[in-house]
Amino acid sequence: RISSTKELLINAEKGGYAVGAFNVYNLEGVEAVVAAAEEEQSPAILQIHPSALKQGGIPLVACCIAAAEQASVPITVHFDHGSSKQELVQVLELGFDSVMVDGSHLPFKENISYTQYISFLAHSKDMLVEAELGRLSGTEDDLTVEDYEARLTDVNQAQEFIDKTGIDALAVCIGNVHGKYPASGPNLRLDLLKDLHALSLKKGVFLVLHGASGLPEELIKGCIEHGVRKFNVNTEVRKAYMESLSSPKKDLVHVMASAIEAMKAVVAEKMHLFGSAGKA
Ligand code: G3H
Ligand code: 13P
Ligand code: ZN
Ligand code: NA
């Protein structure tokens, strides 16, 4: 049903839980998230990455918006990782409820001016704005201790960033990575998250954690305790989709149905871990 990303995050803040934002690429993905949300009575965010938008275009966005409107639980539609100004300016016209401005590849000052610019435009359309400070690594990046430290979100910079950009939600880099975590396991700096949480409460912004695929239950709980209200999940859902294709199927409808079931199971499990199940 109609809701807003802001409303979902305000409720999560009040209730001390987090909302899952699940990357979707096609109708099966959308159906899987909506079905899981309805079964688990959970709010959810459907999010579209630029690569998914490139593939699915406006029909994919329209599909998400229609599915969110039709759902019996609150679901919103978010644009993930908007790293190009030109693209974001166009995306703001497509009916998303919220956007992520990703200037994390830019030097600090440029990230501020980029985020400030989009934030102003998005707010004039009543959209919630998420932005990232710090830089997320990929598992393939073999980082030295110095490199690892250099990519973390700095608390003082975060304060300046929030003040100057007027964002609503901050995506933090505390050692979280997109894709798989290394065999040694995730190395999350919950002590840093604690400081960022204090700042977020002072400033009235929500904390977001990207790269939630691969985090064990105790770290997810730790992140929620320290203020994370939105977790981004992609890899585990995609993996479930791909794996569902490897068993023999009778026909196309069977392929689609088993992909939905496989993704739905992962999404439902995350809703329980994030504490959003039963909160719709
Ligand atoms: O109104 C917004 C809250 O202060 C958000 O802060 O999600 O980081 O705890 P939090
Ligand atoms: P994972 O692929 O690690 O779940 O990360 C998802 C993400 O952050 C999308 O923005
Ligand atoms: Zn991400
Ligand atoms: Na991850």
Confirm whether 239 is domain-assigned. Answer: yes
What's the confidence (pLDDT) of residue 41?
Answer: 98
Measure the CA–CA gap between 128 and 126, rounded to whole angstroms.
Answer: 7
Nearest-atom number in ligand 1 for the CA of 12 is 7
Confirm whether 279 is domain-assigned. Answer: no
What's the confidence (pLDDT) of residue 51?
Answer: 96
Q: Which residues of the chain have pLDDT under 50?
A: none
What's the confidence (pLDDT) of residue 140?
Answer: 59
pLDDT in tens, 192-229: 999 999 999 999 999 999 999 999 999 999 999 999 99
Confirm whether 280 is domain-assigned. Answer: no
pLDDT in tens, 189-202: 999 999 999 999 99
What's the confidence (pLDDT) of residue 116?
Answer: 98
Could you tell me the two tokens for 227? 């203020």
Tell me the residue range of the domain where 159 lies: 5-274
What's the confidence (pLDDT) of residue 27?
Answer: 97
Q: Which of 235, 267, 274 to mutate to test the pocket of ligand 2 (most atoms within 8 A of CB)?
A: 235
What's the confidence (pLDDT) of residue 139?
Answer: 63
Ligand nearest to the CA of 235: 2
Confirm whether 237 is domain-assigned. Answer: yes
Q: Is 80 a catalytic residue?
A: yes
What's the confidence (pLDDT) of residue 141?
Answer: 61
- How do 98-101 and 228-233 pair as beta strands? unpaired
Confirm whether 128 is domain-assigned. Answer: yes
For 214-234, b/e burial (b = at least 16 CB within 10 A) is bbeeebbebbbebbbbbbbbb
Is the beta carbon of 198 within 6 A of some atom in ligand 1? no
Q: What is the tally of structural domains in the chain?
A: 1
Is the beta carbon of 227 within 6 A of some atom in ligand 1? yes
Is the beta carbon of 176 within 6 A of some atom in ligand 2? no
Residue with the smallest CA separation from ligand 1 atom 7 is: 206
Is the beta carbon of 207 within 6 A of some atom in ligand 1? yes
> What is the CATH number for 88?
3.20.20.70
